[in-house]
């Protein structure tokens, strides 16, 4: 178990009058064992390996708690399914997604970050965060298309 994340979740739950249950701890452990962008189904599958009796609804509710507690964040979407990634102690980044194969590149671009801050200032907003998703066709898929004559 990742101690800091457990402490954060316990504190978040306690502040809301909720308890750290075995099921919540199982989902947290399963989520933290997975890297990159994962679906709720993948988290459920990993959680069932730890506790075969854990239900899908419990996983969905716990993912919401993890997100609200700042431990998870919604990442890019794959075929309209929500994907999640680790948020706590993970630096901000944006996503470039291939619309053909689904490959995801995580990146940080200082000029994009500065442009976003300028937009906030122009409209008088105070930033509370953002998520940028760019879509295109990766070099591998471009090569496949070129080789197939499409």
Q: What are the backbone angles phi and psi of residue 101, rounded to the nearest 5°?
A: -105, -10
Res 122: pLDDT: 92
- Residue 109 structure tokens: 């671009």
Res 123: pLDDT: 93
**Residues 6+ positions from 82 with CB-CB distance below 8 Å:** 39, 40, 74
Q: What are the residue boundaries of the structural domains of the chain, listed by start?
A: 1-90, 92-150
Res 87: pLDDT: 65
Please state which of the four CATH numbers 3.10.300.10, 1.10.10.350, 1.10.10.10, 3.20.20.140 is assigned to the domain occupying 1-90. 1.10.10.10
Name which CATH class applies to 92-150. alpha beta
Q: 1-90 and 92-150: same fold?
A: no
Tens of pLDDT, residue by residue, the chain (150 residues): 457 888 888 999 999 999 999 999 999 999 888 877 788 898 999 999 999 999 999 999 999 998 888 888 777 655 566 777 766 655 566 777 788 887 777 777 788 878 888 888 999 998 777 777 788 898 889 888 888 866
The answer to whether the beta carbons of residues 128 and 140 sit under 8 Å apart is no
């Amino acid at each position: 178990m990742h101690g800091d994340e457990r402490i954060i979740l316990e504190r978040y739950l306690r502040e809301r009058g909720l308890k750290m249950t075995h099921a919540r701890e199982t989902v947290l452990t399963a989520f933290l064992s997975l890297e990159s962008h994962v679906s709720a189904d993948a988290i459920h599958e990993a959680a069932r390996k730890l506790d075969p009796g854990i239900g899908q609804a419990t996983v969905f509710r716990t993912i919401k708690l993890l997100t609200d507690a700042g431990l998870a964040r919604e990442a890019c979407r794959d075929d309209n399914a929500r994907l999640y990634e680790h948020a706590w102690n993970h630096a901000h980044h944006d996503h470039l997604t291939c619309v053909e194969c689904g490959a995801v590149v995580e990146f940080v671009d200082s000029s994009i970050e500065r442009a976003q801050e300028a937009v906030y200032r122009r409209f008088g907003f105070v930033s509370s965060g953002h998520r940028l998703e760019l879509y295109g066709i990766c070099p591998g898929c471009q090569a496949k298309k070129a080789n197939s004559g499409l």
